Amino acid sequence: MVIEMKEQETKILEVIDKLRPFLINDGGNIEFVKYEDNIVYIKMMGACANCYMMDFTLKDGIEAAIMSEVPEVKEVINIA
């Protein structure tokens, strides 16, 4: 179980690393906080933290990308 969680977390980090350059290009960034109970906790930073499009970016971009690679993920939550 622990090994499976680590593998899932590794895949999540890989997806985040692929998305990061796009966020940085817009003046933002993303920080992985934790993966617990099939929920990914992240922190949007920089311009992304206060952007009016953040919810769209989070759900339709980041969450969709992570869930396509790690189907066990139920949700991605931004913590402020």
Q: Return the closest-CA partner of residue 58 out of 37, 79, 33, 35.
A: 79
pLDDT score at 3: 73
Say what the pLDDT of residue 1 is: 64
Mean pLDDT by 10 residues, the chain (80 residues): 83 97 94 96 93 90 96 95
H or E element, residue 11:
helix 2-25
Write down all domains in the chain, each with its CATH number in brackets.
Answer: 2-78 (3.30.300.130)
